[in-house]
Chain A
């Protein structure tokens, strides 16, 4: 394309600007559809917990898995350097599990392989994330935020058992 001053420049600019607006707008629409149509949500405000009193505060005084309704479980997990308590969570296939997590000390994270769970675990904050486990098998979960010298040893697994 030959280049001339004046109106030609404006024309080229316009031809570029219109798709430059259309592309981000199109992507925004797509993510709104997945968030509010398909229900893929981000963590929000779930309340605070005193990080120095985690073991005396419900529900973290009794970490573990609780069936809150048929097929629906709540996994209450306490993160601390460099473990998750509990680090093994057993649920039957087809369960919907809500992970309720906090930290006793520094910033941690929770990433579950094979599930849409990726959440920061902050001292002082309750984090919640929900996933459905249909296929039996082991789903490793790990701390994905640097939390000290043995950060890479901090992990656990969700064990999904076949229904008999």
Chain B
């Protein structure tokens, strides 16, 4: 087995163990909303909020990050047709990240970091939680370094050729993330770590939130772009067709690089201490990042259509039924796309400046997040593992039918779950709250709350079927391993892409300039004037 394969298997193992923990804790929260008492699970899970912290950290920080590091290193090496530049660096990075994860997991599991995945200070977790997560972030930078070195090695051999699309997209994803993660790194290194170690006495809520959301919005694109890599470069082929337009795909990724970061303040529309004008600018730029999302929608759907027509599909809409729906990998990703359209529309509502007042911090937000990272990302990643795990294990998927059942259950369960949360949010129900025990439970919420439990239970069953299928693939499946899906050809190929799309400096310069405009004045003012006088508190 090649280094890339073993490395990817290692990352996937960590990711899927985390997802398992995330799915189990998710069930507990959903049932709590449906009116069941939160079960006494001490000492494993000590409270609703302990469970919620585990759910968030395991799903959106651990599962996503480890999956992405494994998947995109695999894809890049494969697309460039050369091994990773430094296998030693790659393994050092993996163990650094795994070590950081263990360090963060000890206080998290031990109820010493029940601060949710957003860990807003002055709520104070154990220092090991902050140090561990920081090591994971540093690990992702080393992945970027290794991918960049690999790209450079390939470029020496192929000076005149366009970068293969999948490698280009993987690089953009990691470069964007590396710039974006500077916010959270600064929050950790200059504020939370010295403060949790007792080296500095106080902290500040607003500056910490600005730094957190500097990273906290683009992290959504760090989760999403790897799914796009699959949708653009593999799914068209899996659907039996071709990618519609390679240059358009490159254009949209460059726009994601430029526009993902200078929009984080749209998470802080209701924060005091930031002028309305800056909030408006971030709203405007968030609308701009909707544009590459629409380009992606068009390009990916047109690619699916080319596959369905090649398989005999007809009509304006009827072709959709001719996609190879019997393939759980494809079905998962097409269903993920379908729900993501609603996630995209909801995202525009969140970003709409004063309209955000209606939904901010309500159940609408987790309703939205479960469509985006909980479905567009998670269900796509599940779809990817339906070919990637069998390939790495060297044996076929244990059951395609079980895989299909799992995929449709996730789709149906999520519609029920997410719709209920969206509606509850519009009725003013707060997010991330132990609603069943709340003192202010409103009568009008009671009709929708059981649906949170029903949807959550279906998602849990789907999750368990997923893990069952993977475990049986490893333990009981016999036969030859299926091949890895080939990268899709394009109807309008890379030869139509202008050379400027394959250059880095102008786009990176533009990225930095936009960040300086959107964040510079606010950050400079806050760093210069913040007194850091909020002491820490353990409130759980």
Q: Which residues of A contact B (CB under 8 A)?
A: 3, 5-6, 9, 12-13, 16-17, 20-21, 23-25, 27-28, 31, 34-35, 40-46, 48, 50-52, 81, 103, 105-107, 109, 111, 113, 116-128, 140, 142-149, 151-153, 155
Contact = CB atoms under 8 A, between A and B. Distances in A.
Interface of B: 47, 49, 52, 114, 116, 120, 122-123, 204-206, 209, 244-245, 248, 268-276, 279-280, 283-284, 287-288, 290-291, 294-295, 298, 302, 305-306, 309, 348, 352-358, 360-362, 428, 430-435, 437-440, 442, 491-492, 530-531, 533-535, 537, 539-540
Given A20-B295, A118-B358, A125-B205, 16 more contacts: A12-B244, A13-B245, A23-B294, A24-B290, A43-B270, A43-B271, A50-B533, A51-B534, A106-B120, A106-B123, A118-B360, A118-B361, A122-B271, A146-B116, A152-B435, A155-B440
B211 to A, nearest CB: 14
B440 A140 contact: yes
Contacts of A28: 283-284, 287
A63 B371 CA distance: 41
Given A45-B273, A113-B428, A149-B539, A107 B439 contact: no
B295 A111 contact: no
A123 B116 contact: no
B357 A142 contact: no
Contacts of B531: 48, 50, 124
Nearest to A5: B491
Contacts of A140: 440, 442
B116 A122 contact: no
Contacts of A12: 244, 302
Contact of B123 (A50, A52, A148): A148
A93 to B, nearest CB: 21
Main secondary structure of the interface of A (DSSP, over half): mixed
A147 B121 CA distance: 10
B537 A81 contact: yes
A124 B205 contact: yes
B537 A106 contact: yes
Contacts of B358: 116, 118
Contacts of A6: 492
Contact of B275 (A21, A44, A106): A44
Nearest to A35: B354
Interface centre among A5, A41, A116, A124 (most CB of B within 10 A): A124
Contact of A31 (B245, B290, B354, B360): B354
Contacts of B275: 44-45
Contact of B272 (A20, A41, A52, A125): A125
25 contacts: A3-B305, A5-B492, A9-B245, A23-B290, A31-B353, A40-B357, A42-B353, A42-B357, A48-B531, A81-B537, A103-B205, A105-B537, A105-B539, A109-B270, A109-B430, A120-B268, A122-B273, A125-B205, A126-B272, A140-B442, A143-B430, A144-B362, A145-B120, A146-B116, A153-B439
Given A3-B491, A43-B270, A113 B248 contact: no
B206 A42 contact: no
Contacts, number: 200
Nearest first, the 7 closest Cβ-Cβ pairs linking A and B are A148-B539, A144-B430, A127-B272, A20-B294, A152-B438, A144-B361, A24-B287
A124 B204 contact: yes
A41 B539 CA distance: 32
Contacts of A126: 272
B120 A107 contact: yes
A118 B283 CA distance: 17
A113 B251 CA distance: 44
A13 B291 contact: no
Contacts of A17: 295
A113 B442 contact: yes
Nearest to B437: A152
Contacts of A24: 287-288, 290-291, 348
A16 B302 CA distance: 11
Given A27-B348, A118-B360, A122-B272, A111 B428 contact: yes
Contacts of B205: 103, 106-107, 122-125
A21 B428 contact: no
A122 B433 contact: no
Given A16-B298, A105-B122, A122 B352 contact: no
A52 to B, nearest CB: 6
B276 A44 contact: yes
A50 B268 CA distance: 21
A41 B440 contact: no
A45 B294 contact: no
Contacts of A5: 491-492
A78 B270 CA distance: 18
B248 A13 contact: yes
A109 B268 CA distance: 12
A53 B244 CA distance: 62
Contacts of B530: 124
B353 A35 contact: yes
B354 A120 contact: no
Contacts of A127: 272
A31 B116 CA distance: 32
Nearest to B271: A120
A136 to B, nearest CB: 18
